[in-house]
Amino acid sequence: MSEQSELIVEQIQIGPMANFTYLVGSRSTREVAIVDPAWDIDALLERIDAADYKLTAALVTHYHPDHVGGSFGGNSIEGLAQLMAKRGVKAYVHKSEAEGVRKVTGLSESDLARVDSGDRLTIGDVEVEFLHTPGHTPGSQCFRIKNTLVSGDTLFINGCGRVDLPGSDPEAMYHSLRHLCSLPDDTLLLPGHNYAHVPNATMGETKSQNTYLNIRDLDTWKNLMGG
Ligand SMILES: [Zn+2]
């Protein structure tokens, strides 16, 4: 799916909630990071190994169990804890999401790398930039890798993440979406769930069809979203 041939970008739909996990990394060194590993860790590791990739990091968009594993509605979902028992990588989480991640996954502080907006991580010869995009959760973050954006539950092709959950903040979501709108139109948007008629789209396409990106004043937004 990527025309940026030096990049590895693989979109993997997994689990009963239409989640997307991603592998992002460097084609030349075959080093990859996995974004939001959950639901079936063995299947994800088999895919990494079959492609002869070297897993070097786990990147966390936010702490909800359908993205990182943990207990959810009485069920136990596989995720970071099972991954890190098998591969010794760190989970890169926004600093204000770290406690939430620890709580739902049971990971310890030494398993985590706390990051802030603007921090960068190098995977082989590819740079990942962390963008703090609060709203769905306090420490939601997106990952910008060249001209792709992995957006978690902040931005979907036809919508945005829920802001009526514990820890959600409608006003913060408004500002996060305005910020993402400033990215170039040819940026490829890679959302956290397969909720649209297509699995990915450019920011230009997304801006033209996503109502939530076309509300440009906070009062209108608050009337629509609450808060
Ligand atoms: Zn979520």
Q: For 146-193, what is each residue's pLDDT tens digit? A: 999 999 999 999 999 999 999 999 999 999 999 999 999 999 999 999
pLDDT score for 213: 95
Low-confidence ranges of the chain (pLDDT < 50): 2-3
CA of 169 to the centre of ligand 1 (A): 13
CA of 42 to the centre of ligand 1 (A): 22
pLDDT score for 71: 87
CA of 121 to the centre of ligand 1 (A): 23
CA of 52 to the centre of ligand 1 (A): 30
Going by C-alpha positions, the residue among 93, 128, 129 that lies closest to residue 112 is 93
CA distance 179 to 117: 12
pTM here? 0.96
pLDDT score for 227: 61
Q: Which residues contact 118 (CB under 8 A, 6 or more apart)?
A: 129, 130, 131
Neighbours of ion ligand 1 (CB under 5 A): 64, 153
CA of 153 to the centre of ligand 1 (A): 5
**Domains plus CATH for the chain?**
7-225 (3.60.15.10)
CA distance 154 to 159: 9
pLDDT score for 1: 53
pLDDT score for 3: 47
The one-letter amino acid code at 161 reads G
Strand order through the sheet with 120-123: 120-123, 126-132, 141-145, 148-152, 188-191, 201-202
* Half-sphere exposure in the Cβ direction for 85 (13 Å, CA): 10
CA of 196 to the centre of ligand 1 (A): 16
CA of 105 to the centre of ligand 1 (A): 15
CA distance 170 to 136: 8
CA distance 147 to 195: 22
